[in-house]
Amino acid sequence: RRYNFCAGPAALPDEVLKQAASEMLDYNGRGLSVMEMSHRSKEYVAIAETAEQDLRDLLDISDDYAVLFLQGGASQQFAMVPMNLMGENGVADYVNTGEWSSRGIKEARRYGRVNVAASTEDVRFTTVPAQDSWQLTPGASYVHYTPNETIGGLEYDFIPQVDAPLVADYSSSILSRPLDVSRFGLIYAGAQKNIGPAGICVVIVRKDLLGRAGPHVPTMLDYKVQADNGSMYNTPPTYAWYLSGLVFKWLKQQGGMPAMEALNLRKAGKLYDYIDGSGFYSNPVEKRYRSIMNVPFVLADAALDKTFLAEADQAGLLNLAGHRSVGGMRASIYNAVPEAAVDALIAFMKDFVQRHG
Ligand code: PLP
């Protein structure tokens, strides 16, 4: 196994992959793989329900919320959120802090009126707009923001205080630390970063927000239909759901959210400290808003980028290229990336400066 810093699909815990491999041909003495089970079977329903309960335990999600396991990724939520929550002639407030919020805004505009309540585009998304500067719409259907911008490496250090239901794209930071779900109307997160394999998206939605979809919303895209059917209106991504459940168990074994937070702060802290002190690498994000999951950085000389990536790959440090839209480097250090991987990366970066700096 090499160290994988991919932003997504991302590293999964060794323990989870080993368990999955060991039961690939024979799950629990049943003589078949989970992949081959009916989603309506007693065994599979137990797997699905356990996964949901473990997620509820990890984030302390109350019964006021439905937990859905859907397809279509976070990008489909960019559409499902307005389809379900905007209402006829409604207005939704969006905060723009980078590439992913921009995409959410673009998609929502297909369904109704969007007010961009705040944006940090003018400073190249290197900071989060202070809440008192947000131009919120009285009576808005909801307020949408992106707590962690995966590409820019920008993370809110607060949960916005708003009157309308708060909607958050937690794709790249869910489960990285404790989260007060009760502050939100809806949270969504594509799985392939901190939850499990690609192909599934977790939606946590307050039950009073169900049943607001207009008549033309496709059945499959109506949160209420999915909630009423336990996310099994049709065949769900059964295996991705199962592996997500194994990750939830693994997180519980690690000590849950408080333990992950301590570890993640340590991992990110040492990487940023090294970058800031190096005189060769740099990160442009205002310090208090630096992501603890995605750490972008650039080299003093961009002509060395290719060499850096090739040598890192050779050293067993995979997928360090920044997003194709911004270039540079990015180390995604999700839960399943061990602290030893961060130590190895820092050692490599130091060595690289000595040889090329
Ligand atoms: N939102 C954020 C914050 C992301 O990081 C990503 C993917 O990287 C997406 C949305 C899109 O996710 P998906 O590929 O699941 O549609």
**How do residues 115-129 score in pLDDT, each as one tens digit?**
999 999 999 999 999
Give the pLDDT score at 329: 98
Catalytic residue among 93, 134, 193, 267: 193
Catalytic residue among 54, 93, 169, 222: 169
Under a CB-based contact definition with an 8 Å cutoff, are residues 274 and 297 in contact?
no
Q: Which domain holds residue 281?
A: 255-356
Q: Running DSSP on this structure, what letter comes out for residue 256?
A: H
For ligand 1, atom 15: residue with the closest CA: 73
Mean predicted confidence (pLDDT) in 91-95 = 98
Ranges of beta strands (E only) in the chain are 3-4, 65-70, 91-96, 113-119, 142-145, 148-149, 154-155, 166-169, 186-190, 201-206, 281-282, 294-299, 317-318, 329-332
Give the pLDDT score at 357: 84
64 marked as part of a ligand binding site: no
- Exposure on the CB side of residue 7, measured as CA atoms within 13 A: 20
CB atoms within 10 A of CB 235: 10
Ligand 1: residues with CB < 6 A are 8, 73-75, 100, 146, 150, 169, 171-172, 190
Q: Is 147 left (phi over 0), alpha (psi -120 to 50) or beta?
A: alpha
Query: Does 115 map to a domain?
Result: yes
42-71 per-position pLDDT tens digit: 999 999 999 999 999 999 999 999 999 999
Residues 230 and 293 in one domain: no
Under a CB-based contact definition with an 8 Å cutoff, are residues 93 and 140 in contact?
yes
Residues 164 and 269 in one domain: no
Residues 263 and 233 in one domain: no
Under a CB-based contact definition with an 8 Å cutoff, are residues 68 and 227 in contact?
yes
Mean predicted confidence (pLDDT) in 171-188 = 98
Under a CB-based contact definition with an 8 Å cutoff, are residues 170 and 189 in contact?
yes
From 230, 254, 278, give the residue that closes a domain. 254
Verify whether residue 100 is a known catalytic residue.
yes
Residues 38 and 169 in one domain: yes
Distance from the alpha carbon of residue 279 to the mean position of ligand 1, in angstroms = 32
From 219, 254, 289, give the residue that closes a domain. 254
Question: Would you say the pTM of this structure is higher than 0.95?
Answer: yes
Residues 229 and 279 in one domain: no
Domain with residue 92: its CATH number is 3.40.640.10
Verify whether residue 57 is a known catalytic residue.
no
Residues 249 and 227 in one domain: yes
105, pLDDT greater than 90: yes
Q: How many domains does the chain have?
A: 2
Query: Does 8 map to a domain?
Result: no
